[in-house]
Structure 1
Amino acid sequence: MKPSMKRLCLLPLLGLLGVGQATADVVFRYAEGGPNRGTRAEAVQYFADEVERISEGEMRVDIHWGGALLKWSGVMDGVAAGTADLGSVLSSYEPSKLTALGIGDIPLEYSDPWVGMRAMYDLMTEEPAMAEAMSERELVYLSNFSTSGVQFECTEGNEIKTVEDIKGKRMRATGTYSKVLDDLGANMVNMTFGKVYQALDSGLVDCLGSYFYTMRAYKTYEVVETVTRVDWGQLLGFAIVMNEYSWQDLDGEQQEILREAGSRMIDHFARLLIEDGEEVAEMLDSGGFGKTVPVKPIASEERERILEATLKFRDSWIEDADQAGIPGEQLWSRYEELLEQYQQKLKSSGYPWAE
């Protein structure tokens, strides 16, 4: 049983919010570290709108954008403490505390956002070990985000066509992707994404491991000359979570509304992300941004070599999970089964929004 003092401290707040009062609105405070723009922001707003629509106005989500309530690094602890009822969390900020969620950050061959997010949703909501791991942090998982696959965008004379081309390149990437590139011989440069444009322009960085949507958002197409399409994995340790005590104070119907809104958001966000990525790739190739930046697929054998270099990080996650009391091998096997299941469903039936 959870400590009672913390629950008692939350009751006045929950009462003010209307939780447990059938005749009053339930308003949840949502901590979002990012600004109110872009496809992911649209997805967060869609989640909030769906909660209100499905509940017929009896449940509402009040989003605090741009770190106004909690900064990225403080969302996990802030939601657990009840400062916010809901929030967007990244496992990369708390890798030792969010080991379960971190399974989604290991680079794999599956780069399709819909496939990845649906697999993560099923894993996190259906596997008791995952729910228990989140519960230890006083959190409940509701939904998932994705970054889409990693691509290599490079300045003049630095195009990456092979694994050998990575050696000696000054590169910037995120999380495990940075570690893999380091193993492959890149000289990794650590910086926030807000500084990458200047770094590329000044020559401090030769290439980025990035995403099509960031190329548009940060206008890096102005200072690079080539994009190698690798479609390498995706960051999936990126979720909507809820304070466990707030969750427990909801009835079954209210909990199901939040689950349904979270599931619906995944399909909505996947569609936005996929369509946006394809549009950016076409515009780069055709000069739609004012200059032509060729987008060339990496050879399949070179992509396989990059994927092989990630295997040790899969093994590391399994070891870390076991040490955290999570059945690593069992969950990894289930995760791969779900990824392959949705990959095959995509091949046979297409995306659900295309039906």
Structure 2
Amino acid sequence: METYETIPREGNMARKISIFALSALVALASITSAMAKTTLNYSHYGPDRGTDAEILHQFAQEIDTGTAGEVQVRITFGGALLSTQETARGVGSRVADMGTFIAAFNPTEFLNYLVVDLPVTPSNPWVGVRTAMDLVESDALVKGEFDRMNLKLLANFATGPIILMCRERIDTLAAMQGEKFRIQPPHSRQFEQFGVVSVSVSTPEVYQSLDRGYITCAQGYITSMVPYRQYEVAKYVLEIEQGQALGYGTVINKQVFESLTSEHQAVVVDAGKKLAERFAEKAVASLKNDRAALTAEHGVQFLKLSEEDQKTLDAAAEVPLDLFREAANPQVLNHVINLAEKYQAELAADGYPWDRVAR
């Protein structure tokens, strides 16, 4: 019987070479396969629960499926990768490849884009999302701001109507005098006219700030109260009827995006559009469902200003509008108003896109 010892040296050497060559090919194939896959690190400030988390997971899955696993998105929740304030710059400098940014933390860089946060924007989430995304796509000044930050907008989000979440009952303008509110520009410019002291608090810190009494009220949104459990520390909601916040969404590092193949770019862009529409759809549903739950299950009281106070607050909106006209391009304000009217009319005529498909 032929054994290792009885095999001629030449044959033994040939076998060694063959085994070595095969091992090298397997290793090369593994390296090539690994190199072919791209993992995009996504930074999100919110928790891994609620509407935001659900649709972000769907977004990641659509990119994975659409690229046959060649591009994958790894989401880090809770601001563990980048804080809310750092996300725009962090993605632009590739600390993360993608992320959920809030433009209000970079007011100089997003000077014209922040027109979408002014009190002239509609409170309907779908109208807001379409208005903001169209603005970035069609307005050279606004798009240029993203380019200079080395960012590409994939999806714009919408908060739904802005509210004030309060630890105490506040339902008059007079009651706001001297109180500390977590409220961001441009709305802070309105409320400061009534003696409000505006303070900067990031979204994840709102709960603790209300709980400890550091602030009396916080600018917020019905859709965020359940996932952030803010109803535990804010039992009063003042509906101020001042539009919604639209200056936030999903961005990707521009160079990272351009490094993808054209096919993969198309998948990412399509997933972004679906993300934006899905976000709007969920927000529309949440406005109804979450409000009911907050009232019935968590004892939250919804309040309104008197008619006189509401008119006074509406008139105070001219201050941030005038400040925008002075600092930015007034034509951008006209542009966003026209776009909002366009999508408001489309909604009135045709309903929501997801309902059109159902019909």
Q: Same fold (TM over 0.5)?
A: yes
1:191-230 mapped onto 2 (5 Å cutoff):
191-192=201-202, 196-197=206-207, 200=210, 205-230=215-240
Q: 2:297 is matched by which residue type in structure 1? A: G
> 1:72 is paired with a residue of what secondary structure?
coil
Aligned residue number for residue 310 of structure 1: 317
Asked if residue 257 in structure 1 is aligned to residue 263 in structure 2, the reply is no
CA distance in 2: counterparts of 1:334 and 1:143, whole angstroms: 19
Q: 1:34 is matched by which residue type in structure 2? A: G
CA distance in 2: counterparts of 1:194 and 1:135, whole angstroms: 28
CA distance in 2: counterparts of 1:91 and 1:267, whole angstroms: 20
1:78-102 alpha-carbon deviations (Å, 9 max, x no partner) = 2222332222221122211222432
2:105 aligned residue (64, 73, 93): 93
Asked if residue 341 in structure 1 is aligned to residue 353 in structure 2, the reply is no
CA distance in 2: counterparts of 1:37 and 1:201, whole angstroms: 21
CA RMSD of aligned residues (A): 3.0
Aligned residue number for residue 256 of structure 2: 246
**Contact 1:100 / 1:134 at 8 angstroms: preserved in 2?**
no
Q: 2:330 is matched by which residue type in structure 1? A: E
TM-score (norm 1): 0.79
**Contact 1:139 / 1:241 at 8 angstroms: preserved in 2?**
yes
1:271-300 alpha-carbon deviations (Å, 9 max, x no partner) = 222222222211233x322xx333245566
CA distance in 2: counterparts of 1:64 and 1:262, whole angstroms: 18
**Contact 2:45 / 2:204 at 8 angstroms: preserved in 1?**
no
CA distance in 1: counterparts of 2:235 and 2:104, whole angstroms: 30
Task: Give the 3 Å change call, closer, same or farther, for CA 297–109 of structure 1 in structure 2.
Answer: farther
Q: 1:350 is matched by which residue type in structure 2? A: G
Aligned residue number for residue 110 of structure 1: 122
User: What is the CA-CA distance between 1:168 and the residue it aligns to?
Assistant: 4.6
> 1:175 is paired with a residue of what secondary structure?
coil
Segments of 5+ residues of structure 2 without an aligned counterpart are 1-30
**Contact 1:140 / 1:244 at 8 angstroms: preserved in 2?**
yes
Q: 1:244 is matched by which residue type in structure 2? A: K
Asked if residue 294 in structure 1 is aligned to residue 306 in structure 2, the reply is no
> 2:293 is paired with a residue of what secondary structure?
helix
1:55-90 alpha-carbon deviations (Å, 9 max, x no partner) = 343432222333333333332222222332222221
> 1:179 is paired with a residue of what secondary structure?
helix
> 2:186 is paired with a residue of what secondary structure?
helix
Task: Give the 3 Å change call, closer, same or farther, for CA 253–318 of structure 1 in structure 2.
Answer: farther
Larger Rg: 1 or 2? 2
Asked if residue 180 in structure 1 is aligned to residue 190 in structure 2, the reply is yes
Task: Give the 3 Å change call, closer, same or farther, for CA 199–260 of structure 1 in structure 2.
Answer: closer
**Contact 2:163 / 2:239 at 8 angstroms: preserved in 1?**
yes
More divergent stretch after superposition (239-248 vs 216-225): 216-225
